[in-house]
């Protein structure tokens, strides 16, 4: 049995990771909006932002585990599927951010022409799969959370909307794609961290 204190720390990880994810989405636009990919990767802020994205994704993973355990039983099979897809997509996203942080600057020096070329082949497939799994997993997790009724309903609804927005805006290459999704995860994390697993379960039972 996972202790309530451990779940609360997982909630804190979701809170910090969600806030960081949303803030970085804004900072990314402020720092690199309007710049070419080659200019953005060559800037001194690139490494800081991308490493911070790796940290945010890692915290989201830790938070996701606690948020799922909290509501595993009432979320049912949908919750399990959502957890596995979201976990896979977030791990893949962390890997993509790591590559952007450390591999990107090297490419900018060794083969800058690659940064102006459109991704193709396995690279394009990998990017698409990562974005789809990440958005789909958290979308399903929002639906499962709505079904479970343990976490605040508003946070689950925001996560559903935020996951769709994240995918659409990412494919359209528009800014602020992660703001709503990050805010939703942070809200869920705050609920778990501030109230604790036992109190949230009692709230959910009282509302039924």
pLDDT digits (tens, 9 = 90+) for 114-159: 777 677 789 889 999 999 999 999 999 999 999 999 999 999 999 9
Residues contacting residue 56 through CB under 8 Å, at least 6 positions apart:
17, 20, 21, 24, 182
Cβ of 191: how many Cβ atoms within 10 Å?
23
Q: What percentage of the chain has pLDDT greater than the value 90?
A: 71
Q: Quote the CA–CA distance of 61 and 46 in Å, as a whole number.
A: 23
Count of structural domains within the chain: 1
Residue 186 CA to its chain's centroid (Å): 10
Residue ranges in the chain whose pLDDT is less than 50: 1, 207-208
Handedness of CA 33, 39, 44, 50 (dihedral sign): positive
The dihedrals phi and psi of 175, each to the nearest 5 degrees, come to -75, 170
pLDDT of residue 206: 52
Question: Residue 143 belongs to what domain range?
Answer: 4-207
């Amino acid at each position: 049995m996972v202790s309530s204190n451990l779940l609360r720390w997982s909630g804190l990880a979701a809170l910090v990771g969600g806030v960081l994810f949303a803030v970085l989405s804004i900072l990314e636009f402020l720092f690199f909006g309007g710049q070419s990919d080659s200019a953005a990767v060559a800037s001194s802020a690139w490494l800081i932002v991308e490493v911070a994205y790796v940290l945010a994704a890692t915290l989201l993973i830790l938070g996701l585990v606690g948020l799922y355990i909290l509501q595993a039983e009432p979320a049912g099979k949908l919750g399990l599927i959502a957890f596995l897809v979201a976990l896979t997509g977030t791990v893949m996203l962390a890997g993509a951010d790591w590559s952007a942080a450390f591999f990107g600057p090297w490419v900018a020096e060794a083969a800058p022409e690659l940064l102006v070329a459109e991704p193709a082949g396995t690279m394009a497939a990998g990017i698409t799969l990562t974005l789809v799994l990440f958005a789909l997993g958290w979308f399903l997790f929002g639906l499962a959370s709505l079904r479970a009724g343990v976490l605040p309903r508003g946070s689950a609804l925001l996560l559903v909307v935020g996951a769709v927005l994240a995918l659409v805006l990412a494919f359209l290459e528009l800014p602020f794609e992660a703001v709503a999704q990050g805010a939703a995860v942070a809200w869920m994390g705050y609920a778990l961290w501030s109230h604790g697993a036992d109190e949230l379960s009692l709230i959910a039972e009282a509302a039924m």
